[in-house]
Amino acid sequence: MHLFAALLPPPDELERVRAVAAGVAPVRDQPVATGPPGRHRLGRRHQPEAPPPLEPMLDLIPAVAMHVPVVRFGHLVLDDATRLAHAIERDASAWESPRLHLAGGLALEPEGDNSVWAKLSGDLDALRSINQGLARAAQGLHLFVDRRVFRPHVRLGTVNDHTTTGYLEQLLSVLDEFEGSKWWQTDLALLIPADRGPGQPPYKPFRSISLGSPVAH
């Protein structure tokens, strides 16, 4: 099984930020031409046709599929996955529960990425400590850990062939003004990718891990 650790933000917060992204209308980069220069007066019988409606410029992910990947452990047999879950449960009581909220956005970063993301804000140092603790737990059992840098973001969707620069600029401007409600992230999910059909998360739970005391503010 391919096991990974993730945060599952509150569904209502995911629905809220998704609705904000969905409310940004498609944007043409260039105005539609109306004819040669100096010939803008047209009779009633020669009015230009209305431009066709624009296609969606972001392939939005369903809120039920949104999550924050923290560490990927690669392919594990059931015994190793179970040992790892026990080790994480033992260590996680010392990992503080962060207070988080969604605020701001990011697109097409790093280079080669085709996604738009909502950013997590709040106790990010505590999140990074959780990330490091997960890696230590796996390494202590001589198990594989994906070395990709942890990114405290939620993927909202991916760009497509219709996406314009003007649309992305407007979308990021709207996301930069967005600030969701705060929540305490008190648990961590160990998940397995799965094809569960339309309207279902693209993973199934393996273990829910309780975190420690809330971060002191």
Q: What is the rounded CA–CA span in Å between residue 49 and residue 62? A: 35
Please report the pLDDT score of residue 54 as a whole number: 72
Q: Which strands, in side-by-side order, build the sheet including 183-184?
A: 58-60, 153-159, 115-122, 99-107, 183-184
- Strands 99-107, 115-122: pairing is antiparallel
Total-model pTM = 0.84
| Burial degree of 61 (CB within 10 A; 0-12, 13-18, 19+) | buried
From residue 7, give the alpha-carbon distance in Å to each of 146, 186, 209: 17, 10, 10
Q: What is the rounded CA–CA span in Å between residue 29 and residue 116? A: 19
CA atoms within 13 A on the CB side of 108: 10
Helix (H) or strand (E) holding 188: strand 187-193
Please report the domains of the chain, with CATH numbers, ordered by start residue. Answer: 2-23+56-210 (3.90.1140.10)
Q: Which strands, in side-by-side order, build the sheet including 203-210?
A: 68-75, 2-7, 187-193, 203-210
From residue 105, give the alpha-carbon distance in Å to each of 121, 174, 179, 180: 11, 9, 10, 12
Please report the pLDDT score of residue 116 as a whole number: 94
Please report the pLDDT score of residue 30 as a whole number: 47
Lookup result for tokens 């739970």: 205
Please report the pLDDT score of residue 198 as a whole number: 75
Please report, in tens digits, the pLDDT of each residue of the chain (217 residues total): 899 999 999 999 999 999 999 999 887 774 333 344 444 334 445 455 545 557 888 999 999 999 999 999 989 999 999 999 999 999 999 999 999 999 999 998 877 889 999 999 999 999 999 999 999 999 999 998 887 788 999 999 999 998 989 999 999 999 999 999 999 999 999 999 998 777 788 899 999 999 999 999 8
